[in-house]
Structure formats: structure tokens, C-alpha cells
Amino acid sequence: DPIELVAQLFSNPVFTGHIEMDPYRLSSASQPNECIYSEYMSADVAWEYQTQLPQGHTQAGIILASDKTPLPSGNTDMYPVLLSLANIEAGVRMKASSHAFPLLAYLPTVTFKNVTSKQQSVLKACLFHFCMGLILKPLQAAEQDGVPMSDSHGNVHIVHTPLVAYIADYPEQQLVACVASSQSPITTASFLDFGDGVHYPYRVRELTLAAIEEVANLPHAALGSNSDGRLDLFCNAYQEQGLNGVDEPFWKKWHGMDPSNFLVHDALHGSHLMVFDHFCKWLPNIMTASELDRRIQAVQPRVGDRHWPNGISSLKRVNGRDCRELEKILIAVINGAVSDGVM
């Protein structure tokens, strides 16, 4: 029961003094008109949501995370869903010893038989949203009505549960946002538009739900009577709208929750590996691979930091730790060899 998990985190004495109940706004003494954002409760979205709640009620911002992980043996996958609270201070929440991301559920990993590859992907996406809808239904109800929960001091609060963050890698963000693999989960841009420097409109929930409804309302006569043919035509119709075929997103009945707001990348793929996958591919084209390697090799070895005696241009695979070590020196290494615009 997700409500029990939220209540457990909300009342856990480990988080006493590290869990925030009320939104606030911070500013510096030198620039009082500029806000300082740090924790979730300092964000505008938390402040705006609180103004919609009845007097005396509070919010427990829900953070979800999921990632399909292949097991080392058995040729099977594990698909865990984790839950945490945005009210818990980030520094405490991210410590492994805090156990602030308890397991919420395991999603099924199945392969449908006697279907095409296109139908397979649509059915798997629909199964994901169906299961998430079942799992998260109590939180959707609590977001509307509120549920009583006690904090670590024994004080009872009426708590509402908005979904404020869903941590996922890029393919899973597309799955959650119900968009095709060629579309951005956050904006209306497609893969043909990536990198053109244009800021496209956000893919707000109303836009996605309207596109789903348009396909769902197609006249049945136009789809034929053959069941396989009808499914293929529906798949094609969804694809033309830039959708992945899901007709009932799990966030649809979660009042006001918008994928373009709550989707966030995971730190490994969205931050650290991005350095190697993108920056380290661009730089050899800008300053030549030999010059980049020469500068990295010239960095003085230091205890506690990785040294790169052979440079990085020949690397094929790296892990998150390698990327973090590279991040420490990359800006200093390329300084003077690239333009100010690149810097």
C-alpha cells in the first residue's frame, strides 16, 4: 500500500528535523527580490499547490523512480518501482543509509506471444500504465481528499500526495509520457527537431490527453472488422500523433499532474554519462582528438583523482565514476583551446 509507505516515511524518527511541512521562499540580503531555490518546499510549485489546500492541510510530495534491470543470470529482468518524499531534505534523502527510497512494487516483465513487434511495444506500454494505475490509485485519491498521518513527534496532519518527480532514464520518460520513441517526453519536438536551437512548447498533459482521445474516437467502420488489422490501424494512428499507443495513462486521474513537470532524468544517464556520450564526442571535432588527449595527459597526477595517461579519445565504454572524475578536469583542460561560446 503506497499510503503506508508514505506514512512510514512521514513519521520516521530518522528524518526528524530533516522533513519540511510548509512551503517557504528564500532570498538573499543583497538581492531580496530574487528567490533562492534549494529543497522542494522552496519551489514555486510547492507554494502554489499549498494555496489550493484547505487551511491546516499539508502536502507530501511524491517521488517515484523505476528502472528495468537485467538480472545477471536467468535471462530475466527485474522492474522495481521506488517511492520517496520530496519533503525530506535532499542531502538526507540521497544517503543510502537513510533508506529513504523504499520498494513500492515490482512490475511484471512479460513478452506477448503471436503479435508483431509494433503490437508488442504497444501492449507492454499499456501493461506498464495499467499496473502503475493499480499501484498508485490510493495516492491519487489521497491527493484529492487528504489522509491523516502522524509525524515523528506524534502530531497528526491531513496530508495530500501530489506527484512532484518521476526519476527515469530517457526511454522510460517516453514510456511515462505516452510518447513514441521519436518524440521528446517534455516538449513537442521530434527527433528531427533535436539540436536546432528552437525552444518548442511543453508537451502539457492536456495536449497528450487530447491526442489520445482523438485516436480513441476514430470511427469503428474506418478500422475494419479484423481484430489484428484494427490493432495495427490503431497503432499507426497513435504513431501519427507521436504517441506510444497507451489509451489510459496512470497519471490521467492524478489531478493536475503533468509529465512535462514531474519527469526528471536520473543522475547517471542525464548528468554524468552525458559528459562522455556528448561532450567528449563534440570536443575532438572542435579541437582535434590529439590535442584533447595531450592536454588531459599533461594534468599533474594527484592522490585521490584519476589520471588519464593515455587520454580519452580511445575509450569505448565508461562508468559513472569515470565520468565524475573526468568532470573535475574537463573545463580546465579545454580552456584556451575552444571559443568562449563552447565554454
Query: pLDDT, tens digit, for every residue of 232-275?
Result: 788 888 888 889 989 899 999 898 899 999 998 877 777 777 87
* Domain tally, the chain: 2
**Domain end (from 236, 265, 294):** 265
Same domain (yes/no): 257, 327? no
Same domain (yes/no): 241, 295? no
Whether 116 is covered by a domain: the verdict is: yes
- Cell triple for residue 16? 526528524
Amino acid of residue 325: E
B/e letters for 289-307, b = 16+ CB within 10 Å, e = fewer, are eebbbebbeebeeeeeeee
Whether 177 is covered by a domain: the verdict is: yes
Count the Cβ atoms, other than its own, within 10 Å of residue 315: 13
Same domain (yes/no): 135, 275? no
Interaxial angle between packed helices 117-145 and 227-240, expressed in degrees from 0 to 180 and rounded to the nearest 10: 70
Whether 339 is covered by a domain: the verdict is: no
C-alpha distances (whole Å) from 166 to each of 66, 215, 262 are: 8, 26, 6
Same domain (yes/no): 182, 34? yes
**Nearest 10 degrees: Cα torsion 251, 252, 255, 256:** 80
* 221, pLDDT greater than 50: no
Q: d(Cα 162, Cα 60) in Å, to the nearest integer?
A: 7
Count the Cβ atoms, other than its own, within 10 Å of residue 184: 21
**Domain end (from 250, 265, 280):** 265
**Residue 326, domain extent:** 269-334
Same domain (yes/no): 242, 285? no
* Mean of pLDDT over the chain: 87
Same domain (yes/no): 128, 63? yes
Whether 340 is covered by a domain: the verdict is: no
Same domain (yes/no): 48, 178? yes
For the stretch 202-217, pLDDT in tens is 999 999 999 999 888 8
Same domain (yes/no): 261, 278? no
Same domain (yes/no): 136, 110? yes
Coil, helix or strand for 10? helix
Same domain (yes/no): 215, 321? no
Whether 194 is covered by a domain: the verdict is: yes
Q: d(Cα 178, Cα 172) in Å, to the nearest integer?
A: 10
Beta bridge partners of 66: 81
Q: d(Cα 297, Cα 323) in Å, to the nearest integer?
A: 16
Same domain (yes/no): 209, 278? no
> What band does 229 get if pLDDT is binned at 50, 70 and 90?
low
Whether 343 is covered by a domain: the verdict is: no
Q: What's the pLDDT at 81?
A: 95
Residue 235 backbone phi and psi in degrees, to 5: -60, -45
Q: d(Cα 190, Cα 323) in Å, to the nearest integer?
A: 28
**Domain end (from 208, 237, 265):** 265
Q: d(Cα 246, Cα 238) in Å, to the nearest integer?
A: 8
CA angle 128, 67, 90 (to 5 degrees): 120
For the stretch 48-66, pLDDT in tens is 999 999 998 999 999 999 9
Whether 341 is covered by a domain: the verdict is: no
For the stretch 291-336, pLDDT in tens is 888 888 888 888 888 888 888 888 888 888 888 888 888 888 888 8
Same domain (yes/no): 231, 277? no
Whether 342 is covered by a domain: the verdict is: no
Q: d(Cα 60, Cα 22) in Å, to the nearest integer?
A: 10
21 near 164, Cβ under 8 Å? no
